[in-house]
Amino acid sequence: MTLGRDAVKRCRIWLTTVALAIAGCGGPFPQSTLQPRSDFGHAIDHLFTDIFWWAVFVFVVVETLLLVALVRFRHREGRPAPKAAHGHTALEIGWTLAPAVILVLVAVPTMRTILATAGDAPPDALKVDVIGHQWWWEYKYPNLGIVTANEMHVPVGKRVQVSITSADVIHSFWVPALAGKRDATPGHTTRIAFRADSVGEYSGQCAEFCGASHANMGLRVLVDSDSAFETWMKTEQRGPATPTPASPAEGGKAVYSRSACLACHTIQGISPGVLGPNLTHFGSNTTLAAGMFPNDSAHLARWIADAPALKPGSLMPRMQPPLSDAEIAALVAYLKSLK
């Protein structure tokens, strides 16, 4: 009776473990290459599927031979020890050639995909220069006169050519559903082209270890409908919003204009710094600190007061001398107003 209860208990533990393990596969997976949303993504997905089936084929062949050997040649009472075999030319040529052929069948489509996605885009492609920084992404649209950070907007269905480089160490640009990975290397430019097929927000991640906050170097690509992209583009091309007279945002602009922020950040017509992200339209970003936090007042206030406490190694230093709570609140109001 006790044994029966134990068995039921053990069974329940096993079932719970299995259920939890399966639940872990349930998603959502915002950074999965298995749900491609661009021609580039589909090309990678096809490659993955092909190589997966080659791997399955190799696995089945090897495991079958192993099982046959285990069963057929296992030790039996009274049977003499097997004779060691040396040199079988046909077999040796066979097991050298077979993997070589399989590797060629994997390598050719892989190289073809790399070349197809790294080539020149047509002249009408939207060009975006991507620059990796510790630990954020800068985007420049050379033909549109737009500079922004961390959130890239592209129109759906249009070819986009991304030129990737770095301002400091090696990073890697990767938006699993859309494009990448491609290294961002200082002094060198790599190019990829893609055409997004669905409107939506896609998250990505720096995929090359680049220092203390490598894991905090996220990015977002917002694929807009044509009209939404047009609206975004026109907004970005305008200067920064002017705060309403006597509003908290106007007080914040005054705080900004006498702060150390000026040295590192650009707000068009207000400050020329280029070390940190361009803040001209910062208020329209959905996230803060390269995708770490939602761009809300609470996080922004903590970020301004002490960025390294939120993002280890952040090059944006702790404010010295510290700003008062009122000054930080005013700065938050100003930055949020920059839409």
Number of residues that bind ligand CUA (CB under 6 A): 9
Minimum separation from the CB atom of position 208 to ligand CUA (A): 5
Residue 73 or residue 209: which is nearer to ligand CUA going by CB? 209
Question: According to CB under 6 A, which one of 128, 147, 210, 331 is a site residue for ligand CUA?
Answer: 210
Beta-carbon contacts of 259 under 8 Å, excluding residues fewer than 6 positions away, are 319, 323, 331
Minimum separation from the CB atom of position 211 to ligand CUA (A): 7
Here's the x/- map for ligand CUA, 155-174, by CB under 6 A: it reads as: ----------------x---
Select the span of 31-39, 153-161, 204-212, 300-308 touching ligand CUA (CB under 6 A).
Answer: 204-212
Between CA 285 and CA 266 the distance in angstroms is 15
Beta-carbon contacts of 265 under 8 Å, excluding residues fewer than 6 positions away, are 271, 273, 275, 276, 277, 278, 279
Residue 186 or residue 317: which is nearer to ligand CUA going by CB? 186
89-118 vs 39-72: helix axis angle to the nearest 10? Answer: 170
Question: According to CB under 6 A, which one of 195, 214, 253, 281 is a site residue for ligand CUA?
Answer: 214
Residue 182 or residue 336: which is nearer to ligand CUA going by CB? 182
Residue 257 to residues 125, 220, 254, 330, 334, Cα–Cα distance (Å): 38, 29, 5, 12, 11
- Is there binding between residue 206 and ligand CUA (CB under 6 A)? yes
Q: Residue 27 is encoded by which pair of tokens? A: 């998603």
Q: Which residue has the tokens 């001209």?
A: 280
Minimum separation from the CB atom of position 171 to ligand CUA (A): 3
Helix (H) or strand (E) holding 183: strand 179-184
Q: Which amino acid is at 28?
A: P
- Is there binding between residue 289 and ligand CUA (CB under 6 A)? no
Report the interface residues with ligand CUA, using CB under 6 A. Answer: 132, 135, 171, 206, 208-210, 214, 217
